[in-house]
Structure 1
Amino acid sequence: MKTFLFVAQLSLLFSAQWLSAQDRMGVFFDPRDGKEYETVFVELPLEAGVTVEKEWFAENLNYHMDGAFCYNNYEEYCNTFGRLYTWKAALVACPTGWHIPIDMELETLTKKHGGKKSAGGTFKEGGESGLNLLMAGFGEPNGSYIDVGVNGYYWKKTDMKSMTPGLITIHNGVDYFTDDQINASHRNSIRCVRD
């Protein structure tokens, strides 16, 4: 019995050390449809030694609603990559208490992971950030889809009140990502962040 307790304590010690080096993982159940999403709690440094912890989806949103589409209209793509949302849908797609990322959240996360030239590599599936952004492609308003497996396009906005569509793009084969203001016509992926 003593040996078991020692092994259990040793296991907890190593787990605690691992958690202090890495961000914690969690689970969120969307009450709207019962879907389960893995989440990651990201500790972000602010100024003067202050930190803040933000919880992000570690999977693409896959909530069926008006303005949400599966790549090439195949449900199998939604099961793998989540849905692609119009800008109008993106503004209200996250569950209550969650939102699409804003610039300040992305900038702090980017700084933590080495800046725009290298953070894209950590944001991708398998990267150390735990976000696991997928190369889900995007959709055009005419119903055509491109870039699945090549690039990932994710909605963002300047701040909580902004109605101007923004986009970050994760590129296959490179560690940088791009950050743009775009028009609202495309259909892109969503990662939700807890308010």
Structure 2
Amino acid sequence: MKKSFGISLFLSAIVAAHFIACSDSSSEPDSPDTPEVSEPEDTPDAPSSAQCKELYGITEKNSWSKTITNSTILNKEACSKAAEFISQTGNLDISCYEAMLNPEENRIDFILNSEYGYRGVWIKLNGCKYKLGSDGDFNTLIPKATEWEFDGCLCKVEKGVTYYRNIAPKKTEESSSSKEEEISSSSETFHSWQSSSSISYVPPLEAVAGTMVDTRDNREYKTVTIGTQTWMAENLAYAYVEPTKTQDSSSFCDDKDPDYCEKYGRLYLWSAAMDSAAVFSEDGKGCGYDFRKCANENNSNGKIRGICPEGWHLPNVDEYEVLFTAIGGQKEPSFPDWNNVEKSLKSIEGWKEYEGRDGNGFDDYGFNVMPVGRADDTENVHLYDQGGVAFFWTSDNRNDFTAEIITFHNWTPEVSNSGTGMNSYLSIRCLKD
């Protein structure tokens, strides 16, 4: 009995050993001791931490994300690359205006500011690589673009998963100071706003409505006083008929709609806004006409009357800042967009809906920004963007071809300061001296 049990145990051991050997042979690739063979990662060379900190201000505390958020690092890097390529390839003056994530298309959409106005392009994401494209703008230049790649500070691929830097870099006091210096010295960066900490908030109920009469044509305008400023509460409609090299008038009314000017005011070239013909003052003489420089660039009082009535002037960017701050507007230093402004200043009707977003405002202060649109100084001046955008000239210029403007949109809550070509016809709001 004991002998039989011993033989059975011995045979069982042999069978088990044979089974284990066969099993090991057939499952060898899955053995944890076998080195894993992986495909090479499609990721850029990783710079050192010191390099990332030097280039972008990134530290180890800045996190990674599987999705792109509104990261100023990634958006600025890609938009700058696109603007630089189009500028160099097309010999154009291009700068970044705004970036918007488009997750449904796996891309980032950009609005570029050019000497011909706003133009749209986008980048299609493929891991850390991205390709420039558009829906029609710059269509002769886009095919010449190669595929670009975010560097290892901004993007990495691990085991087939792409990770992005999803927050803006933290700036030291020294780097912030140098950045402000860069912003104020570059002609292609956004306007550097002055400090507004001394401006007090003005509730809507404290805004004071009034009227004024332009004695040049006896037209009456609504006005509104908000804090220390008194603004026209309607767009200027004075017919400035000084000719340009290509047009018989430097202001525009839609002749297809007899009530257009009565409702929306006129649209003006920047040369007309500045009164470059010096009809009313010498302040803006020569400004913008045939892209000429202003004759009086060092205006002693800092105010340009321009085409505005006597006792009023064409506001500069900083004066718009005072208005926006007084009604509770907020913005990040060195960025061009204002929040908490749009609804308070827009008209309550006339704005088109955009993808379910109501473009109309509440007009809390009686400022009544209407979606007038714009026109361009082409062979045949034509109106477009009506119902979706309002543009206002300022007395500031960026360079010999572009001037600073203030823009309200129907598709975003942000009110922006940017530049556009002086050959655009835009609206004017005058500010009391």
TM-score interval (norm. to shorter): 0.7 to 0.9
2:233 and 2:204 map into 1 onto residues whose CA distance is 19
Question: Within 2, Cα distance between the matches of 1:194 and 1:106?
Answer: 13
SS of equivalent residue, structure 2 residue 421: coil
Q: Say which is worse superposed, 185-194 or 150-159, in terms of deviation.
A: 150-159
Give 1:107 deviation, angstroms.
0.9
Q: Does 1:103 align with 2:103?
A: no
> Structure 1 residues 59 and 20, CA, compared in 2 at 3 Å: closer, same or farther?
closer
Structure 1 unaligned residues grouped into runs of 5+: 1-18, 44-52
Any idea what the Cα deviations from partners look like across 1:80-128, whole Å, max 9, x if unmatched?
1110001011113211111122122111211223221221221211422
Scaled by the length of structure 1, the TM-score of the pair is 0.77
Moved more, 171-180 or 87-96: 171-180
Distance 1:98 1:73, change over 3 A: farther
- 2-side partners of 1:153 and 1:188: how far apart? 6
Aligned to 1:47: none
Residue 190 of structure 1 corresponds to 428
Partner residue of 2:329? 114
- TM-score normalised to structure 2 length: 0.36
Mapping for residues 1-195 of structure 1, pairs under 5 Å = 21-43=205-227, 53-66=228-241, 67-71=250-254, 74-91=257-274, 92-112=306-326, 113-115=328-330, 116-125=338-347, 126-142=362-378, 143-158=381-396, 165-195=403-433
Q: Which amino acid aligns with 1:154?
A: F
Deviation sequence 1:132-164 (CA, Å, 0-9, x none) = 1111000110112101111111101339xxx96
Q: CA deviation at 1:73?
A: 5.2
d(CA) in 1 for partners of 2:204 and 2:267? Answer: 34
Give, in whole Å, the separation in 2 of the partners of 1:122 and 1:175. Answer: 11
Compared with structure 1, are the counterparts of its residues 65 and 193 closer, same or farther at alpha carbon in structure 2 (3 Å cutoff)? Answer: same
- The 8 Å contact of residues 24 and 40 in structure 1, kept in 2 or not, is answered as yes
Bigger strand share: 1
For 1:60, give the aligned amino acid.
N
SS in 2 for 1:167: strand
**Cα distance change, pair 110–20 in 1 and its aligned pair in 2 (3 A):** closer
Residue type at the aligned position of 2:415: F
Cα distance 1:164–1:34, how it changes in 2: closer, same or farther (>3 A)?
Answer: same
| Higher share of residues assigned helix | 1
Amino acid at match of 2:235: N
Alpha-carbon separation, structure 1, partners of 2:252 and 2:312: 20
- Cα RMSD (Å) of the superposition? 2.1
8 Å CA contact 1:26, 1:38 repeated in 2: yes
In structure 2, C-alpha distance between the alignment counterparts of 1:20 and 1:100, rounded to whole Å = 24
Q: Which runs of 5+ in 2 are unaligned?
A: 1-202, 242-249, 275-305, 331-337, 348-361
SS of the residue 1:180 aligns to: strand
Conservation of the 8 A alpha-carbon contact between 1:166 and 1:180: yes
Aligned length: 165
Question: How far 1:189 moved relative to its partner?
Answer: 0.3
Aligned-partner Cα distance in 1 for 2:204–2:258: 38
1:72: Cα distance to partner? 5.5
Higher Cα radius of gyration: 2
SS in structure 2 at match of 1:96: coil
